[in-house]
Amino acid sequence: MRPIALLACLLLAWLAPLHAATLARVEPANWWVGMRHSEVELMLHGRDIAALQARTTHPGVRVLGTAALDSPNYLFVTVAIDEDAAPGELAIELLDGDAVVARHPWRIDAREPAPPRGFKTRDAIYLITPDRFANGDPSNDTVAGMREGANRADPDGRHGGDLAGIRAHLDYIASLGFTRIWPTPVLENDQASTSYHGYAITDLYRVDPRMGSNEDFRALAREAREHGIGIIMDVVLNHIGSEHWWMRDLPSRDWINHGGRFVPTNHRRTTIQDPYAAPGDRAGFTDGWFVEAMPDLNQRNPHLARYLVQNTLWWIEYAGLAGIREDTFGYADADFLSRWAKAVMDEYPDFDMVGEEWSPNPAIVAHWQRGKANASGHVPHMTSMMDFPTHIALRDALLRPDTWESGWMPLYEALANDFLYPDPGALVVFAENHDTTRLLAHVDGDLGLWKLGLAWVATIRGVPQFYYGSEVLLRGPAERHDGQLRADMPGGWAGDAANAFTGEGLDARQREAREFVRRLFNWRKGATAVHAGSLVHYAPEDGVYVYFREHEGRKVMVALNRNPADAPLALGRFAGSIGDARTGTDVLTGRRMPLGEVLRLPARAPLILELD
């Protein structure tokens, strides 16, 4: 080529745009007019876009700035949405100089009327592992392009349960007396194996196609509200799945703790508050990976922190959620957790969130609840926490022999620690969940002890949580094996021999258990003394634990008899709580009982009386 021609080509190349860019992703894909969080940082992903500028010409939407990190394939664009911005479609344009080299559709929407929010003491939560509950749409059991297909014969594999299965049985859940559903995570988990549980998320803005679609999730929430049920979403802030698309092109070197290299957490949760903890031990807890398949996120990165906050706000607004359950709570950066929870509560003041802090120590759990004044200076904003201390004490109380320091005593004394909590009445109480052995397995099939445990959960302070299938005595192994304890709900699949939803094929014990749950939690829906009442409990004696709930003159007496035989209960000791009441109505049978000098308690059974 002649020198003049070569010079002309170089000049044209210098004057022309660098390239025609292509955007693979813009997250979030939309926002809403009128949000308190009106400045949104968009994550744009596409080849070699980091050096470009961004703009939009939509009235009321302004680009405030851009930021690039280590990867040349990300651009973070902050947009401001004015209160008078018109909802509708718009484009995010990328510019190389004055030339537009890419356009990507984006959208701002009008907010829908606010649905009921939160979960209060009047509510009862039904926890579901969606893959194991009901297969409402067999066509999505195995999805082309997804790493794991359905294999119901494998206890650790995918079984095909989905959102359609939950929708099909909302009336059943409501009939049991439950007003909130907490599904374990439903977002994409495109992992090679054991992906059914949902906690190794590979796309934070997409429902797993084997569960359904984003719109299916929103439709579930809407339909649930028609049944008087709110949806609590399971959110994971600590980690992602190893097959998350980020892992193929990290936005920055510090996006994942330990540079993307597996270093296990030490699980030393006390280090967060321990004034003597070595800094390395504290970092070993928060920065270590939960397991090798779950890369640990570094929430100290401000762009990742904003991404996670916005992701939570997006799902609440998109689906009209009633609440959030946050997984592995204390494992994430503590300062971030404070900012994240505050952002949610600032946006939705009537909202409720519960965090998982799996500790038997109430001081460790109380650290995270809103209103707690912490010596560390940490300011929490979580309305609720999972009450693991009483969960552990309850399970001990049901099995340990009745002595001066055992039997019901550990549970009685666990409640005495409530002074540590800013709001003990907001805690979520439970006898079992998806990470523990089933209560029935724990008590070795003893139906009486099982009823005692559930009666305590339903009548004590706090918000009760129940695990699906226990109403028909799903038992599972005595030692924890996740895939087996998260067993398929009978009747959730075509051809099942028994059907929990219709009662067909259930044996007498299963029918008895289901009716017990139905009566207990439907009664609780209207039991204001349990929702809002004071609690007075009496030191357990001779295998019997007695406590009272009272609100505005309405009284409930609960007597839990752990003995294998009927037991006489002298009532003189409880005169101050019984007051002028002369009779009580058994809420499970409707039978009226006189309150004389002695009350006869049935063997291995709860007695719950509304005092007249």
**Domain CATH number, residue 573:** 2.60.40.1180
**Domain CATH number, residue 90:** 2.60.40.10
Quick check: is 118 in a domain?
no
Quick check: is 407 in a domain?
yes
- Location of structure tokens 């703790």: 257
**CA atoms of 493 and 470, how far apart (whole Å):** 17
Please report which helix (H) or strand (E) contains residue 337, including its range: helix 334-347
Q: Residue 308: beta bridge partners?
A: none
Q: Predicted confidence band at 15 (pLDDT cuts at 50, 70, 90)?
A: very low
pLDDT score of 17 = 43
User: How do residues 481-504 score in pLDDT, each as one tens digit?
Assistant: 999 999 999 999 999 999 999 999
Quick check: is 454 in a domain?
yes
220 with 94, same domain: the answer is: no
pLDDT score of 405 = 84
Task: Check whether 11 has a pLDDT greater than 80.
Answer: no
148 is catalytic: no
Range of the domain at 593: 530-611
25 with 159, same domain: the answer is: no
What secondary structure, in 3-state letters, does 5-60 show? HHHHHHHHHHHCCCCCCCEEEEECCEEECCCCCCEEEEEEEECCCCCCEEECCCCC
284 with 354, same domain: the answer is: yes
> Which residue, 23, 28, 26, is CA-closest to 49?
23
For the entire predicted model, the pTM comes to 0.96
Residue 88 φ then ψ, to 5°: 155, 180
Mean pLDDT of 269-294: 97
pLDDT score of 403 = 85
User: How do residues 206-223 score in pLDDT, each as one tens digit?
Assistant: 999 999 999 999 999 999
92 with 162, same domain: the answer is: no
Quick check: is 468 in a domain?
yes
pLDDT score of 6 = 43
Q: Predicted confidence band at 10 (pLDDT cuts at 50, 70, 90)?
A: very low
Quick check: is 150 in a domain?
yes
**CA atoms of 569 and 607, how far apart (whole Å):** 11
Last residue of a domain, one of 49, 84, 109: 109
Catalytic residue among 188, 296, 327, 471: 327
User: How do residues 69-114 score in pLDDT, each as one tens digit?
Assistant: 999 999 999 999 999 999 999 999 999 999 999 999 999 999 999 9
Q: Predicted confidence band at 19 (pLDDT cuts at 50, 70, 90)?
A: low
Catalytic residue among 162, 287, 333, 356: 356
306 with 445, same domain: the answer is: yes
User: How do residues 129-166 score in pLDDT, each as one tens digit?
Assistant: 999 999 999 999 999 999 999 999 999 999 999 999 99
37 near 11, Cβ under 8 Å? no
**Residues with Cβ within 8 Å of residue 111, at least 6 apart in sequence:** 32, 33, 34, 35, 317
548 with 521, same domain: the answer is: no
**CA atoms of 184 and 198, how far apart (whole Å):** 7
536 with 518, same domain: the answer is: no
499 near 492, Cβ under 8 Å? no
User: How do residues 351-406 score in pLDDT, each as one tens digit?
Assistant: 999 999 999 999 999 999 999 999 999 999 999 999 999 999 999 999 998 888 88
> Which residue, 289, 290, 268, is CA-closest to 279?
268
499 with 547, same domain: the answer is: no
- Please, what is the average pLDDT of the chain? 96
pLDDT score of 18 = 46
What secondary structure, in 3-state letters, does 83-133 show? CCCCCEEEEEEEEECCEEEEEEEEEEECCCCCCCCCCCCCCCEEEECHHHC
pLDDT score of 4 = 47
Last residue of a domain, one of 473, 503, 525: 525
497 with 375, same domain: the answer is: yes
**Residues with Cβ within 8 Å of residue 405, at least 6 apart in sequence:** none
pLDDT score of 401 = 87
335 is catalytic: no
Quick check: is 115 in a domain?
no
pLDDT score of 201 = 98
Q: What share of the chain is helix, strand, coil (3-state, %, to 5)?
A: 30, 25, 45
Residue 197 per-residue DSSP state = T
DSSP, residue by residue, 280-324? HHHHHHHSSBSSTTSPBB-TTSHHHHHHHHHHHHHHHHHHT-SEE
Q: Is the peptide bond before 28 cis (omega within 30 degrees of 0)?
A: yes
Mean pLDDT of 8-34: 71
Quick check: is 390 in a domain?
yes
Percent of the chain predicted with pLDDT > 90: 95
Two tokens, residue 65: 């700035």
Q: Predicted confidence band at 275 (pLDDT cuts at 50, 70, 90)?
A: very high
Q: Predicted confidence band at 8 (pLDDT cuts at 50, 70, 90)?
A: very low
Quick check: is 234 in a domain?
yes
Last residue of a domain, one of 471, 505, 525: 525
391 near 429, Cβ under 8 Å? yes
268 with 345, same domain: the answer is: yes
480 with 428, same domain: the answer is: yes
User: How do residues 220-270 score in pLDDT, each as one tens digit?
Assistant: 999 999 999 999 999 999 999 999 999 999 999 999 999 999 999 999 999
474 with 508, same domain: the answer is: yes
Q: How many domains does the chain have?
A: 3
**Domain CATH number, residue 481:** 3.20.20.80
Q: Residue 494, Cα to own-chain centre: how many angstroms?
A: 29
Q: Which residues of 489-523 are buried (b: 16+ CB within 10 A; e: fewer)?
A: bbbbbeebeebbbeeeebeeebeebbebbebbbbb
Q: Predicted confidence band at 556 (pLDDT cuts at 50, 70, 90)?
A: very high
